[in-house]
Amino acid sequence: MLRRLIAVTLCIATIVSVPPATADVTQSGAPGHNASLANWYAAKAQLTERHGLTLGFAYTALYQRASDSALQPLESRAAGRPVFGRKEAAGGDFEILGHLDLWDREGRHDATLMFKAEARHRFGTAVAPQNLSREIGSVWPTGTGYREFDPSVVELWLKQRLGGESIEAHVGKIFPLTQYDFSPLDNFRTDFVDAPESFHPSIALPNYGLGANVTMRPRRDLYLRAGIADANGAPERSGIETFFETREYFSVLEAGFDPGALDRAAGGPYADYHLTLWHADQRERAGRPEGWGMIASALRRIGRFTPFVRYGYSEGKRGGPALLEHMAAGGAAIDGILGRPADRIGVGLAWGRPANGLLDDQGSGEVFYRVQVTRELALTYSAQLIVNPARNPDQDVILVSGVRGRVKF
């Protein structure tokens, strides 16, 4: 399976990469656009200039293999089926994304319609990467986001600014992961793929669904955010029925200090320190209890280095609503590897106490190396160590190796 994935990756690299003599290299030294796509980028720029429509396409694939798995088949309510201790998982994610400027373009009260369509799938293995954790006994996913669902409009929401950056409102079908407790490293397509660094397992974040939030800035480096989301959101549903009829909600209050955020440039100084408070209603049909929690996060970019720390706590009856009762995580991203400004190394460590009081604490560490081959193609190798997997007491340490490829144009 790994050989097949490497062969596919090399084919993609051959298609989208270019010889050094024809590559468009920027002044910073980062890989430039593929010369064969010049007409495509010109057409995109013209579409944006004339009609305010910006489009993008991306495909990301992840393969993971674990050194060990659960020794015995397990019946897991969370899995909904027997778990047979498989060690391999592979999946992909195709995206069509963009935004449309609606009115007052480049003004102080501009509005933008944000949209994204996605299809996620597994290939060549019995499970998708997000479900590999069930097979090896990890309490949190080792391949966040790489699951299965049919082609769907997963995001469709309005962004309205009032008075420049002082007030910004979002309303529509939204992905809460990108709205609350945000970090620039929270991207399973480009950076960490283990849950503590990319998925916030101490927060009962809903899936794609209807919601709204407002961000206010009393000054440029301070923000206050309040939001509400459908606790039963799903990528394949519009969410109208569950939001207006089921009426089980996830709500958030967040305050942060982010000097440099509004003026940040690649490689420039940037920091974000925030405190997030959340509450999740009881979800009767899903069998999830009511609960609340908080998370404190700090991140600062200093030249090539971006260190971060995060602590989260969730309260609720046994079993939820979040995966973890306590979580602590920290690490750093380092850019400009071997003189290549767009390449990145990431290192993260995490510890978590499951909300299920019958399970022991679990730890993990992840290291990844992302090579930006061209502006369109990135290849990443990652290694995770799952220490004392909470649902697999027969194992002390499990190594999960991964290869990820991403094409975006």
pLDDT (mean) for 244-249 = 94
Per the structure, the complete domain to which residue 168 belongs is given by 2-408
Residue pair 378/30 in contact by the 8 Å Cβ criterion: no
pLDDT band at 249; cut points 50, 70, 90? very high
SS3 53: strand
Give the per-residue pLDDT at 129.
95
**Greatest C-alpha distance within the chain:** 62
Length of the chain: 409
Alpha helices per DSSP H over 189-273: 195-198, 240-241
Domain count, the chain: 1
Q: How many CA atoms lie within 13 A of 145 on its CB side?
A: 29
Give the per-residue pLDDT at 163.
81
pLDDT band at 72; cut points 50, 70, 90? low
Give the per-residue pLDDT at 380.
97
Give the per-residue pLDDT at 232.
95
The CATH number covering residue 162 comes to 2.40.160.180
| CB neighbourhood size of 253 (10 A) | 15
pLDDT (mean) for 289-295 = 94
Residue pair 147/27 in contact by the 8 Å Cβ criterion: no
Share of the chain above pLDDT 90, in %: 67
* Best CA proximity match to 305, nearest among 277, 269, 272: 269
Give the per-residue pLDDT at 31.
65
pLDDT per position as a tens digit, 388-405: 999 888 889 999 999 999
pLDDT per position as a tens digit, 198-217: 888 999 999 999 999 999 99
Residue 314 phi/psi, 5-degree rounding, is: -130, 140
Q: pTM of this prediction?
A: 0.85
